[in-house]
Amino acid sequence: MVKIINIIVAVLIVIINVYFIKTSSSIIFSGGGGMGWGLVFLPISISINLFLITAFLILKKSKQNSIFLLTLNSLGLFWSLFWFYQIHIS
């Protein structure tokens, strides 16, 4: 059961990171925007991108039964969804 939940959470992290990688790269290449306000969001976006490392560890099939990575990926997924909600819904 842990293995299936781990895979589902890892795939969701990879999917939501498609948006955040685009956001991080556009902030970096534009220098933070006109007045540099994009640089305020950059640490949040990069912290979300770092959860790709643990997601890829799960998808490599070497650590699929790890409860620690499940907890870490779940926290990362909630963190990602919270900021996605804040950006697009609020």
Q: What are the pLDDT digits (tens) for 40-80?
A: 889 999 999 999 999 999 999 888 999 999 999 999 999 99
pTM of the model: 0.89
Question: Three-state secondary structure along 35-89?
Answer: CCCHHHHHHHHHHHHCHHHHHHHHHCCCCCCCHHHHHHHHHHHHHHHHHHHHHHC
Q: How many domains does the chain have?
A: 1
pLDDT, average across residues 28-51: 89
Q: Residue 90: pLDDT band by 50, 70, 90 thresholds?
A: low
What mean pLDDT, rounded, does the chain reach? 92
Q: What was the pLDDT predicted at 8?
A: 96
